[in-house]
Amino acid sequence: MDGKSAQPAATTDPGRAPGGTGAPIIFFDGECRMCNAFVDLVLRADRRGVFRFAPLQGETARELLPQLGDDPRRWSMVYLDERGVHEQSDASLEVYRRLGGAWALLGLARWIPRRPRNAIYRVIAANRYRWFGTRACRVPTPQELERFLP
The alpha carbon of 122 is separated from its chain's Cα centroid by a whole number of angstroms, namely: 14
Q: How many CB atoms lie within 10 A of CB 26?
A: 28
CA-angle at 106, arms to 101 and 112, nearest 5°: 145
CA-angle at 24, arms to 116 and 75, nearest 5°: 45
User: What pTM did the predictor assign?
Assistant: 0.79
If you average pLDDT over residues 77-102, what whole number do you get? 92
The per-residue pLDDT for 32 is 85
The per-residue pLDDT for 95 is 95
The per-residue pLDDT for 113 is 94
The per-residue pLDDT for 8 is 39
The per-residue pLDDT for 149 is 92
pLDDT above 90: residue 98: yes
Nearest in space to 16 (alpha carbons), one of 65, 78, 83, 66: 83
The per-residue pLDDT for 112 is 92
The per-residue pLDDT for 34 is 87
pLDDT above 60: residue 135: yes
57 three-class SS? coil
If you average pLDDT over residues 93-98, what whole number do you get? 94
Gap between the Cα atoms of 21 and 117, Å rounded? 30
Question: Could you tell me which residues are beta bridge partners of residue 85?
Answer: 80
pLDDT above 80: residue 21: no
Q: What single DSSP character describes residue 32?
A: B
